[in-house]
Structure 1
Amino acid sequence: MDPRRARVLPVPAEAQTDARMFMLGGDTLRALKVIVDTTGYDLRQARDIVYALVYDIEVPSGS
């Protein structure tokens, strides 16, 4: 896992908010599902993104 890789993976702002909420609530699987369903990224990329959101690493917003 390397949350810094998420800095080049655009994710819509609403999906970022939802995934962050699930991660902070301890539901990593739902957070991953939000990212995968919204973006189509693989699980490795989704994992990098959800941990980046928790560690306040900026993830670009995308459509």
Structure 2
Amino acid sequence: MDPRRARALPVVAEAQADARMFMLGGDTFRALKVIVDATGYDLRQARDIVYALVYDIEVPRGS
């Protein structure tokens, strides 16, 4: 896992907000599902993104 890799992976703002909410609530599986469903990224990329959101590493906003 490397949350810094998420800086190169755009994710729509709504999916970022939902995934962050699930992560802060302790539901990593649902957070990953939100990112995978919204982006089509693989699980490694989705994991990098959800941890970046928790650690306040900026993830680019996609469309």
Report the TM-score, using the length of structure 1 for normalisation: 1.00
Report the TM-score, using the length of structure 2 for normalisation: 1.00
Aligned-residue offset at 1:2: 0.1
What are the superposed Cα offsets for residues 3-37 of structure 1, whole Å, 9 maximum, x if unpaired? Answer: 00000000000000000000000000000000000
Q: Which SS does the other structure have where 2:4 is aligned?
A: helix
C-alpha distance in 2 between matches for 1:51 and 1:14: 16
Superposed CA RMSD in Å reads 0.2
What are the superposed Cα offsets for residues 25-50 of structure 1, whole Å, 9 maximum, x if unpaired? Answer: 00000000000000000000000000
C-alpha distance in 1 between matches for 2:8 and 2:58: 9
Give the structure 2 partner of residue 50 of structure 1.
50
C-alpha distance in 2 between matches for 1:8 and 1:16: 14
Aligned-residue offset at 1:58: 0.1
Q: Which SS does the other structure have where 2:58 is aligned?
A: coil
Q: Between Structure 1 and Structure 2, how many residues are aligned?
A: 63
C-alpha distance in 2 between matches for 1:8 and 1:26: 25
Give the structure 1 partner of residue 7 of structure 2.
7
Q: 5+ residue gaps in structure 2?
A: none
Q: Aligned residues: percent identity? A: 90
